[in-house]
A and B are shown apart, each in its own frame.
Chain A
Amino acid sequence: MARAITPQRKALNTAIAWTFGIMIFFPILWTVLTSFKTEAQAIADPPVFLFFNWTTENYTTVLERSNYFRHFWNSVVISVGSTVLGLIIAVPAAWAMAFVPGKRTKDVLMWMLSTKMLPPVGVLVPIYLIFRDIGLLDTKTGLVIVLTLINLPIIVWMLYTYFKEIPVDILEAARMDGASLRNEVTYVLLPMAVPGIASTMLLNIILAWNEAFWTLNLTAAKAAPLTAFIASYSSPEGLFYAKLSAASTMAIAPILIMGWFSQKQLVRGLTFGAVK
């Protein structure tokens, strides 16, 4: 800051920004609060904000009555599985494109990106029928395969932009100093590549966790992750706001926390390096 800002101006900025911030965050806050109310308090008019009898009974009910843990576990397996599988396929590719670029590297990258532009609904019917015929409908394996493929371009791209920033000169310097290939990889390359791989992984788990086209269309009761489980609350019986809130809070909390840690990488990953 080249110029001092008056405290009044700063206070005003703070007040306006916090007002908007809280307004945007409010639906999440309200969901978390409602999850600790009784069903009657959840629909009370006038609404109760903080002064109600806090209870955790909704969490126990959701955990007891539904197969919540199974759906949570499905989400974990599908998002982590597809991310790890994607990384295994993508790391060598991104590595090669960043360090041994050929004439067509750019074309390959652009082409990979173009597959991401394919609207999922354009291939819904064949994928559904193929999965039905080979028994992959409503299986975690099936979803891991689909999510790996739809996120593979993003993984390759993110890794590529990270790897490209690793200075090649350092490698040559290490080689001159007599480092063996193994030492070169373990002590020079890996330490520089790990942060990029980690943030790619984080962002991709978030994307896979929240994916709601394929998970809704390719699963029923067995392999449904949380996205599909929560969707079952769209035609409920009886009072359900507090229980919906409890189920929702548990579904979004882990990802919200991961997301806050990854906010810097988010811009880069989602704009394919076009905005830094």
Chain B
Amino acid sequence: MATQHSRAAARLMISPSVILLLGWMLIPLGLTLYFSFLRYNLLMPGANPFVGWENYSYFLSDPAFKAAIVNTLLLVVGVLVITVVGGTLLAILLDQAMWGQGIVRILVIAPFFVMPTVSALVWKNMFMNPVNGLFAHLAKFLGLPPFDFFAAAPLASIIGIVSWQWLPFATLILLTAMQSLDSERLEAAEMDGAGPLSRFWYMVLPHLSRAITVVILIQTIFLLSVFAEILVTTNGGPGNASTNLTYLVYAESLLRFDVGTGSAGGVVAIILANIVAIFLMRMIGKNLDA
């Protein structure tokens, strides 16, 4: 059906998107790469000499970098574990027969639509504040000393907040996958004497495995770039206790105005994200064929 003529028209229709995205990718990427080899500080005007790998060796040997890598991994893995385990359990729960299923679903999904700055500030002030927060009131009621979340466990507190934001996403996707599970097969297995645990392990989990993989990969992309939650709660502190790679690069380039080092950090972040992206792209690409 596709004639020469329609092919040409199609190419014309696709090209604006392609050209824009190509420009959006290549120009900043090229500049980041270029800046990363310069001694370039916004506070020191003048020539920006070429310094080779100096920015990289400075960025990579900075103790803050090691801390940021560890924090990034803890943040990503922590949130993934909480949301995938919690999401699977919630999806199974929401898939059961009940009254008001639609309303419960709406309640569970809601946090996903709350903007990151709002959820971080609400949690920080109204729940985790050691004097006026609800958790402090609760601790007092139980006779426990109040817990200063962002001083004593800054990263764990941020993991908690981010998990609350992403739990709905995991739940929604896994619930969608659950609903395509053949319930008659499950019932047949039950009649054949398979207990709930073995039904979960041998039937539900394998069925969900694909959706779980998608959840893990997509969340990882976003979790590597968590920024607003850190900015409004801890500013990466105390010290570097809650600085992730994204926040560190932001601090180098826009707080310390060190464009060279910030760019080198940006390149490192791109490389890390690409490793995850390759796996995700394979998954989605496979689906495109099917």
Contacts and interface: CB of A to CB of B under 8 A. Distances in A.
Which secondary structure dominates chain B's binding surface?
helix
A118 B232 contact: no
Interface of A: 1-3, 5, 9-11, 13-14, 16-18, 20-22, 24-25, 27-28, 30-31, 34, 42-43, 45-47, 89-90, 92-93, 95-97, 99-102, 106, 108-110, 112-130, 149, 152-153, 156, 168, 172, 206, 209-210, 212-213, 216-217, 226-228, 230-231, 233-234, 240-241, 244-245, 248, 251-252, 255-256, 258-260, 263, 266-267, 270-276
A113 B281 CA distance: 8
A114 B279 CA distance: 11
Contacts of A226: 115
Contact of A266 (B116, B172, B218, B274): B172
A92 B14 contact: yes
9 contacts: A3-B187, A16-B93, A20-B104, A102-B7, A123-B32, A210-B115, A212-B117, A230-B115, A260-B106
Nearest to B247: A121
B156 to A, nearest CB: 17
Nearest to A15: B98
Contacts of A273: 284, 287-288
Contacts, number: 316
Interface string B103-125: 11111111111111111011111
Given A21-B104, A270-B218, A93 B285 contact: no
A118 B124 CA distance: 29
B39 interface: no
Interface of B: 1-2, 6-7, 9-11, 13-14, 16-18, 20-21, 24-25, 27-29, 31-32, 35, 90, 93-94, 96-101, 103-119, 121-127, 132, 134, 137, 140-141, 164, 167-169, 172-173, 176-177, 180, 183-184, 187, 210-211, 214, 218, 221, 224-225, 227-228, 231-233, 245-246, 249-250, 253-254, 259, 262-263, 265-267, 269-270, 272-274, 276-277, 280-281, 283-285, 287-288
Contact of B20 (A5, A42, A117, A149): A149
Contacts of A213: 225, 227-228, 246
Contact of A156 (B17, B127, B169, B173): B17
A96 B9 contact: yes
Contacts of A216: 117, 227-228, 231
B194 to A, nearest CB: 15
Contact of B122 (A31, A126, A156): A31
Given A2-B183, A121-B266, A125-B253, 4 more contacts: A20-B104, A126-B31, A210-B115, A245-B122
Contact of A93 (B13, B110, B132, B280): B13
